[in-house]
Amino acid sequence: MLLTGAEILIKSLLDENVETIFGYPGGAVLNIYDELYKYKDKIHHVLTCHEQGAAHAADGYARATGKVGVCLATSGPGATNLVTGIATAYMDSVPMVAITGNVATSLLGKDSFQEVDITGITMPITKHNYIVRDVNDLQNIIKDAFYIAQEGRPGPVLIDIPKDVTANKAEYTKLIPKEITRSSKYITEKSLQKAIELINQSERPFIYAGGGIGISGATQELIDFAEKINAPVSTSLMCMAAFPNDHELYTGMIGMHGTKASNIAATKCDLLITLGARFSDRVISHQNHIKNARILQIDVDCAEINKNVKVDSSIVGDLKIVLDKLLPLISRKNNDEWLGKINNLKENKKVLINDTTTPELLFDKLNSLNDGSFVISTEVGQHQMWAAQHFKFRNERTFITSGGLGTMGYGLGAAIGAQTGRKDRRVFNIAGDGSFGMNCNEFVTAVKNNLPIIQIVMNNNCLGMVRQWQSLFYEQRYSETTLDRPTDYVKLAEAFGGKAFRITKPEEIDEVLEKALDSQGPVLIDYLINNDKKVFPMVAPGAPINEIINEEDIKNN
């Protein structure tokens, strides 16, 4: 069957079971959009306000559904506007295919109108990328791109298609997508036996679980593993929803804003079992801080072994497979004394102060309303840490946040993608007023598509996290972090066509949340908090992770 490149692209996307694309049209992709028009009953296109929003939406869609997210943009600035979203997906191992148009092949390299070398620009932030110079190569490239995006450690792949390639014709024959198999070829008997030996010999094992648990879908395997060896479990930011937060072995998040129990346990254990985590500087700070423990690292990506921290033993492979292999071979352990010490470090539920609006009070209310179906997306900053610390996650793929890149402006686009892919769940995007200002235009995308997202703006009139650092480490020199913006977020949301409420006192929370949850479309809640409110506990940059600063320390200087 002889088809144009644009037709081949759309049919190939359908072959890959793509149902949704997030994008923004332009001259170089007109042929593609013309074909999308013909297939609009089969592929739902979500028009965002900005290409960066499209990339974040594809990312959020992938995280919430486990499918490949797809975004589409035109050449030049359209393509470069995807870059931050691609980098965000790359840092957090999100399967995504970004499709860009480009000028005709005869105009490449001539500084033509709206021409950029997007494959050169994105080479460091993609698993692989392509420029399609021959329409005869297009179908196989698309097939390979979807395979690469999903196999092993997932990540974004970019396909750049010059305009003449979308118009030229080639033979198309339906191709079956490449089967994705779990990575196991590097799992050796020797590495398994060494791990078993370390686990069985340990008296104070401690588990540091990362984003790889959720990517692998290994939540149940992690629970079974932790329960068999009776080991406390901490999670990185990327693993918050991949281990039930109410489990008796859970010690909370680890790292700069981690719990006392997690951070101290990491320095007191005799075996640190690291699962699908990369020893980020925001988690471990420095290898010397965990020098008392042997380290077992299990990861699907061999490049992560010994990259940031020297380990004593490692297994390279898919976590679900590795844990399945280890479970019947390890000894059941007691560790009562060790668990007792860790449990003593767990903080009891704090008495909430009800005379002012605080993050803790808001999340306490959200927890009481959550039936397990809430999805929380966030921007980046204090509100992100408060969500991780205080919301009680029960199910995997319900926490969507930018971990590795820390992208302000990520959350609302990601919420749009998540809500589009998971219509059976209710998505909340938690933002600070600083982050919300970066992507508030996408609220109208939610309105147009009637997505029942609840956008909460934790409004403290400042760039809260940067201000917190200025307060603690820069002698309160608040350089350019006080916003002093006269924006009325309620009126802004209403101008975009959505509903909006403002909360200024605790007694308003219940009624507003009830109204928001009853709404069939998007809602914004302007939630006012004090600009001196800080995220605690905290570890100073470069300090050992057991040197924890809390609110009392600040009061006592």
Whether 163 sits among the annotated catalytic residues: the reply is: yes
Set 19, 67, 114, 392: catalytic member: 114
Set 35, 52, 151, 163: catalytic member: 163
Set 253, 408, 465, 538: catalytic member: 465
Whether 114 sits among the annotated catalytic residues: the reply is: yes
Cβ count within 10 A of residue 359? 22
Task: State the alpha helices, DSSP H only, in 358-460.
Answer: 359-369, 382-390, 411-421, 433-439, 443-448
Cβ count within 10 A of residue 374? 21
Alpha carbon distances (Å) from 554 to 335, 428, 470: 35, 32, 14
Q: What's the CA gap between 316 and 374, in Å, rounded? A: 33
Q: Pick the closest to residue 413 from 110, 93, 60 (CA basis).
A: 60
Task: State the alpha helices, DSSP H only, in 66-103.
Answer: 77-80, 83-91
Q: What's the CA gap between 392 and 234, in Å, rounded? A: 14
- The DSSP output letter for 285 is S
Token couple for 134: 């021959």
Set 7, 51, 151, 221: catalytic member: 51
> What crossing angle do the helices spanning 51-65 and 411-421 adopt, rounded to 10°?
50
Whether 113 sits among the annotated catalytic residues: the reply is: yes
Whether 253 sits among the annotated catalytic residues: the reply is: no
Set 1, 38, 42, 113: catalytic member: 113
Give every strand in the sheet of 250-253, ordered side by side: 250-253, 233-235, 205-209, 271-275, 294-299, 313-316
Whether 256 sits among the annotated catalytic residues: the reply is: no
- Residue linked to tokens 């399945």: 324
Q: What's the CA gap between 251 and 254, in Å, rounded? A: 8
Give the DSSP H or E segment for 265: helix 260-268
Active-site positions read: 51, 113-114, 163, 465
